[in-house]
Amino acid sequence: MRHSPELYVGLMSGTSLDGIDAVLADLSEAQPRLLARRYAPFDDALKNDLLALHQPGHNELHRTQLAGNQLARLYASTVNALLAAASSSSTKIKAIGCHGQTIRHRPEHGYTLQIGNAALLAELTGITVVSDFRSRDIAAGGQGAPLVPAFHDKVLRHPGSHRVIVNIGGISNLTNLPPNAATSGFDCGPGNLLMDAWCMQHLGKPYDDCGIWAGSGKVLPALLERMLAEPFFALLPPKSSGRDLFDIAWLQGRLRGGELAEDVQATLLELTCRTIAQAIRQYCAGATEIYLCGGGAHNQTLHRRLTALLPGSGVQTTDFLGVDGDYLEAIAFAWLAQQALQGKPANIPAVTGARHPCILGAIYPA
Ligand SMILES: Nc1ncnc2c1ncn2[C@@H]1O[C@H](COP(=O)(O)OP(=O)(O)O)[C@@H](O)[C@H]1O
Ligand SMILES: [Mg+2]
């Protein structure tokens, strides 16, 4: 017998600063059922405002709050359009799980900041909002990230095969799902964000479509070596990262001048692939199935290169498992909202480094 539906909305806007991934999902059964999805890109002005807030700057408290309000309005219009397209209504939705937009992630200082005015989002939609999922984990001594491994564990684990899920957003993170051992996971390093920034600087485009530009360049070994010397890559998990470390200044500091732009792009793609492959070899020994998700899964040059670096393990996208890799994280935040409303812990302490399981999120009732 089918359970009566439990409808949740998930909203994800990640470090890439590309826009909002929104889903409507029925979470009444063990496996989520995706009912509708919607993508709302950020316009250049909002993206630039958000980018600027990653750095200290004049009157940043005020600018942060205004950007949060603007995000809330965009989240709300996205939710309303999502529900209209699915012929659903706000009264049927238990909650929105809203990740918010990270503008600072500093667990070493005891905080992380995702903005998006959850109170305004609740007001504009008439739906309960759960947000600020990361702070409690940090309060318990964790990194507050990554949080998706718990969801990967729930929906993508297989009793007979050793799977690894690699989410390539602005930052890349992996989830290790060995059949007879505990789930682990951590941030590997830059996913797309350095490639995106370089592409914007040289081609005026937000990303390198399918990795064609990177594919036209040559990897620069000395540059790659300088980048791989970054201490973050050698840190033992738990670890997480963001634009706080990996930004265009990080890249500029490693250039020596005179490099061809396409060669730098090829080297950045190689960096993303090498750090992921190295993390899999080091921490996921014996993995036979690698599944990519996040926007980086569309980068075919990257997909081919990862396949070459990981002989013996098939590299597919999560779509192969029937889960839309562009919306997996948004579904995860819908699920995290359900966990919060049900009072269930949702972090994996072995992943984040928290001292104990925590109920994640702040609840803003409808
Ligand atoms: N067709 C494509 N070719 C190459 N890269 C792509 C393509 N589509 C999306 N991307 C990459 O994916 C990023 C968005 O990925 P996403 O999973 O939304 O990351 P985040 O969670 O950080 O927002 C884009 O900024 C871009 O780098
Ligand atoms: Mg995104």
The domain defined by 7-144+326-364 carries CATH number 3.30.420.40: yes
Question: Which ligand 1 atom is at minimum distance from the Cα of 168?
Answer: 17
Question: Which ligand 1 atom is at minimum distance from the Cα of 299?
Answer: 4
Ligand 1 mutation target, pool 168, 298, 303, 319, most atoms within 8 A of CB: 298
Residue 1, pLDDT score: 63
| Average pLDDT estimate for 181-207 | 98
| Average pLDDT estimate for 204-224 | 98
SS3 state at 357:
coil
Domain residue spans in the chain? 7-144+326-364, 148-321
Strand runs labelled E in the chain: 7-12, 19-26, 33-41, 93-98, 101-106, 111-115, 129-131, 163-168, 171-177, 184-190, 289-293, 314-317, 362-364
4 CA from centroid of ligand 2 (Å):
31
pLDDT in tens, 69-82: 999 999 999 999 99
pTM of the model: 0.97
234 CA from centroid of ligand 2 (Å):
27
pLDDT in tens, 8-22: 999 999 999 999 999
List of long-range contacts for 80-83, beta carbons under 8 Å, 24+ apart: 80/125, 81/38, 81/40, 82/9, 82/22, 82/23, 82/24, 82/36, 82/37, 82/38, 83/9, 83/24, 83/36
Query: Between 3.30.420.40, 1.10.10.10, 3.40.50.10490, 3.50.50.60, what CATH number should domain 148-321 receive?
Result: 3.30.420.40
